[in-house]
Structure 1
């Protein structure tokens, strides 16, 4: 006889084993060092900023938006896989215990986000409302947990609705109402808090009523959403180690491909062409590279001390080069590369050359960020130091790792 409770325990055990293996690489590798540096630097500047907090700073709005978004972000992790579309549909009536456990797991796994946001915004709340005790803030966090449970149930009910437009509208409505509830609560408007809470409950009951009218579970939707979340996790893990489960989407990007693929038509440039268009057309590398440049540029622009600006520039150069190293293994499962009439050593040289060129572009862009701030010395230090770091890192560390 099928036991869905035992089935969930087996599925959860396998899921935990797989994710913990990649988390070990993430938090024990170079990414952990970068994250520690980020958190330490942000904590220092956050404390300095709170010491000079403007009196008109909209704390209620900031905290209300953050709490509302955290409460509304309540996806249901079902841990379903593609074969379940065939083997579990017949046991749908016996899956109540499985989905109940999935709801509990989904809530518990998201508590880290609640604790993280509550801990980050606690000092801001205390600095703005020193007359309020810590118990008032803890009560607000407790309310956020209640709304998170409600949103979790509402999201589960709406997963029985096929139309994506209805699900999206419902999510936006609940998110806006959650933000309004916490804004009015933190602002001290209890009457408006009660009104917006009542409106939220109406939407909540509407979702329940809609779900009761649906024929059954949308297995394909549940499987697809869980696969998408796992792919997101794999992309993060891919920053620290090679992930064979990662599925990359290919995008055409014709105009950009025509620019980077402008290499001489010779055998020795075969891998130069291959890895350039892989970088551009793969769904991961280009986006990651651009995001790191934008985030790094924002840090350089807003961090006050000059030496910290330069350190952040070097840190983001390091992160980009480290993460782009996986480009070398992108075609590891493609047997056709072994048939190319090209020496294998040219493959490694092509990757090193492309990473070096990407590092030069990033260095120049980071140096340009200093110019509007009239920090010409910082621009020069970043340019010279970045080029030197890029050369040593690519031809030293990266070259040894590409095997």
Structure 2
């Protein structure tokens, strides 16, 4: 006899075992140390900035957007797998207890986001609105939990809807209402926050009424959503250790492929040069992560006042980018036909080293441009020279010995 509670316990234990297996690599790796330095430096300069925060700084918008987004981001983890599309369908009417536990688990596992945002924005809020006090801010946090619960239930009910446009429109409306609600609430405008909250409740009630007209759960959508979230986790874990069963969706990106591939000579020895370039562009992992790190590092270089810390951030993000792009080397390890290329291994290594060097030097150039715009001569010279030397030394001493 099928027991939903026991089935949940078994799936949950498997999920914890799978995620903890990779979490130990993430939190013990080089990047964890580097990010600790990054967060510590940001916290220091954040504290210094609060001493001179402008009176007209839009704190209510910052708080409204941040709280609204974390309250709206409420995915439901169902822990379903592809075989469930066949084997669980006959027991769908018995899965009520299973999905209740999924909702409870999803809600509590996401609370850390609210705590992080509340802790980060607390000092700014108390600096801008000291008259509202700590109790009011704690009340805002409590209301964030309520709004998050409402959004999570709405997300769950909308998973009965197959039309992606309807789901996206619903999500956009709820995000907008959540942001406006916390915008008014953060500045103490309780009347308009109540009106916005009532509108959000009406939207959620309407979603509930629509969902109960649907025949049942859309199992393939539930599996697709859960697998997408696991792929995201695996992509993060893949930066620290090999994830053999990682499935990477491929995107066309014709313009970028043409831009990077047009300069590759049509020669046998350049086969891996072409392969690594189009993999970097078309895989869902590398291109986005590379430019996100450039963006975060660029913001640090632009806003941090101390020139030496600026330079340290530039070198730090060079290291982070190179460390993560190293996984390109093993990207095709499970594809047999790559091993039968009539190209020797030295050419493969040479192509990888050259491409990583180009990525690091391009990133060095972009960081140097930021110093040029700010016209910081010391920063220009040290970042350009130091970034170039670091890139060459890191590739020679760290990357080369590991791609054999």
Matching residue of 2:337: 336
Shift of 1:185: 1.9
> Would you say the 8 A contact 2:59–2:125 is kept in 1?
yes
The answer to whether 1:276 aligns with 2:277 is yes
Partner Cα separation in structure 2 for residue 295 and residue 163 of structure 1: 35
Deviates more, 1:91-100 or 1:268-277: 268-277
User: Are 1:302 and 2:295 counterparts?
Assistant: no
Q: Judging changes above 3 Å, is the alpha-carbon distance between structure 1 residues 137 and 343 closer, same or farther for their aligned structure 2 residues?
A: same
1:365 Cα deviation (Å)? 1.8
Q: Which structure 2 residue ranges, 5 or more long, are not aligned? A: none
Q: How many angstroms apart in 2 are the aligned matches of 1:15 and 1:61? A: 37
Could you tell me which residue of structure 1 aligns to residue 363 of structure 2? Answer: 362
Matched-pair contact (CA < 8 Å) for 2:129–2:187: no
The answer to whether the 8 A contact 2:132-2:188 is kept is no
Per-residue deviation, residues 199-234 of structure 1 (Å, max 9, x unmatched):
222112111111111100010111111111111111
| Partner SS state of residue 374, structure 2 | coil
User: How far off its partner does 1:259 sit?
Assistant: 4.1
| Change over 3 Å in CA distance of 1:259–1:168 after alignment to 2 | closer
Aligned counterpart, 2:313: 312
User: Relative to structure 2, which stretch is displaced further, 55-64 or 80-89?
Assistant: 55-64
Hey, what's the Cα distance between the residues in 2 that align with 1:177 and 1:158? 17
Q: 1:27 offset after TM fit, Å?
A: 1.0
Query: What are the superposed Cα offsets for residues 62-93 of structure 1, whole Å, 9 maximum, x if unpaired?
Result: 21221111111111111111111011011000
Show the counterpart of 2:388: 387
Relative distance call for 1:171 and 1:267 in structure 2 (3 A) is closer
Q: How does 1:213-362 map to 2 (within 5 A)?
A: 213-261=213-261, 262-362=263-363
Q: Which runs of 5+ in 1 are unaligned?
A: none
Give the corresponding residue for 2:96. Answer: 96
Distance 2:62 2:254 in 1: 41
- Which range moves more in the overlay, 236-245 or 29-38? 236-245
Q: Which residue of 1 aligns with 2:73?
A: 73
What is the CA–CA distance in structure 2 between the aligned matches of 1:11 and 1:312, rounded to whole Å?
A: 42
C-alpha contact (below 8 Å) 2:311/2:379 kept by paired residues? yes
The answer to whether residue 398 in structure 2 is matched with residue 397 in structure 1 is: yes
TM-score for both structures, normalised by structure 1: 0.96
Q: Tell me, yes or no, if structure 1 residue 203 matches structure 2 residue 207.
A: no
Match in the other structure for 1:159: 159
Determine if the alignment matches structure 1 residue 194 to structure 2 residue 194: yes
Q: Is the 8 A contact 2:357 2:395 kept in 1?
A: yes
- Per-residue Cα deviation, 1:74-116 (whole angstroms, up to 9, x for no partner): 1111111111101101100000011000000100110010100
SS in 1 for 2:334: coil
